[in-house]
């Protein structure tokens, strides 16, 4: 089955700098890759997603890139702000072929003042 | 307000005492799912449901049951809880009924402790 690995487990960046979180997946048939942000005491919330027919997607300060050949995808946050501090999860799904979704183990992002 | 609700939010119980965690969504979503979150392990899918009366196992279904008799409700049942089921549980729902290709909306979580 699908396996999603996420790195790093913890990341500290200076406010205003960029942060990058990377994930790899094992099943080349996976076609949907969402990223979720979890703030303290809350449930995860979708921040961006990408499908396998797209190489990059941006939404303001957040971008996701997908390399299907290498089977990895990354989350990029630019001009980081204190409110970006949270745990981020990547995930992979086979979409219509399988209704399971596999999450990475998460990255705790600290934005330093 | 569109939301996923879970009850209870906190529960302390003892080994072997059956319990149910309820989940309800008011968005007319087809897909619902249960996850457990443990330190260092991230989110792991327990069970999911594409539609009423359709349920299937996720990655860690052992020790859990679910039912989907109505579209809006998806209760998680622990028939005989054990300490290794101590965890933070999340229910989620999404619009699509075929594959996980839509935004999942998560509930606030239920923190369960089994003594």
Residue B8: the pLDDT is 97
In sequence order, the 6+-apart residues with CB closer than 8 A to the CB of B24 are B4, B5, B72, B73, B74
A3/A74: higher pLDDT: A74
Contact A111, A81 (CB under 8 A): yes
Residue A94: the pLDDT is 79
Q: Does B110 touch chain A (CB under 8 A)?
A: no
Residue A1: the pLDDT is 76
Please state whether beta strands B19-25 and A56-59 pair in parallel, antiparallel, or not at all (unpaired). Answer: unpaired
How remote is the C-alpha of A94 from its chain's centroid? 16
Average pLDDT over residues A33-44: 95
Residue A64: the pLDDT is 98
Contact B26, B50 (CB under 8 A): no
Cα Rg of chain A (Å, integer): 14
Q: Does B92 touch chain A (CB under 8 A)?
A: yes
In what side-by-side order are the strands of the sheet with A62-67?
Answer: A4-7, A19-25, A72-77, A62-67, A56-59
Residue A51: φ, ψ to 5°: -110, 160
Residue A97: the pLDDT is 53
Residue B97: the pLDDT is 61
Residue with tokens 């327990």: B46
pLDDT band at residue A38 under the 50/70/90 scheme = very high
Q: Does A113 touch chain B (CB under 8 A)?
A: no
Q: Give contacts of B109 with chain A, Cβ < 8 Å.
A: 42-43
Residues in chain B predicted with pLDDT less than 50, given as ranges, are none
CA distance B5 to B11: 15
Nearest chain A residue to B104 by CA: give it.
A46
A100/A75: higher pLDDT: A75
Residue B1: the pLDDT is 81
How many CB atoms are closer than 10 A to CB A89? 25
Smallest Cβ–Cβ distance between B90 and the set A6, A43, A99 belongs to: A43
Q: Which of B42, B48, B54, B106 to mutate to test the interface with A (most CBs of A within 10 A)?
A: B42
Contact B52, B74 (CB under 8 A): no
Please state whether beta strands A45-51 and A32-38 pair in parallel, antiparallel, or not at all (unpaired). Answer: antiparallel
First to last CA, chain A: 41
How many CB atoms are closer than 10 A to CB A71? 15
């Amino acid at each position: 089955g699908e396996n999603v690995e996420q790195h790093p487990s913890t990341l500290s960046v200076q406010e205003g700098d960029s942060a990058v979180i990377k994930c790899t997946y094992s099943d080349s048939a996976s076609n949907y890759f969402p990223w979720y942000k979890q703030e303290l005491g809350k449930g995860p919330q979708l921040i961006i997603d990408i499908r396998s027919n797209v190489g990059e997607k941006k939404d303001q300060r957040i971008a996701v890139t997908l390399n299907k050949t290498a089977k990895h995808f990354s989350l990029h946050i630019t001009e980081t702000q204190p409110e970006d501090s949270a745990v981020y999860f990547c995930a992979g799904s086979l979409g219509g072929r399988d209704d399971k979704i596999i999450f990475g183990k998460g990255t705790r992002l600290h934005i330093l003042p | 307000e569109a939301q996923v609700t879970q009850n209870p939010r906190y529960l302390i119980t003892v080994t072997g005492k059956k319990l149910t965690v309820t989940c309800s969504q008011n968005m007319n979503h087809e897909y619902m799912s249960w996850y457990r979150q443990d330190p260092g392990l991230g989110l792991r899918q327990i069970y999911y449901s594409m539609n009423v009366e359709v349920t299937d196992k996720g990655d860690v279904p052992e020790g859990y049951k679910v039912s989907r008799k109505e579209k809006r409700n998806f209760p998680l049942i622990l028939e005989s809880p054990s300490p290794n089921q101590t965890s933070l549980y999340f229910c989620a729902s999404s619009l699509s009924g075929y594959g996980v290709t839509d935004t999942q909306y998560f509930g606030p979580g239920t923190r369960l402790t089994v003594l």
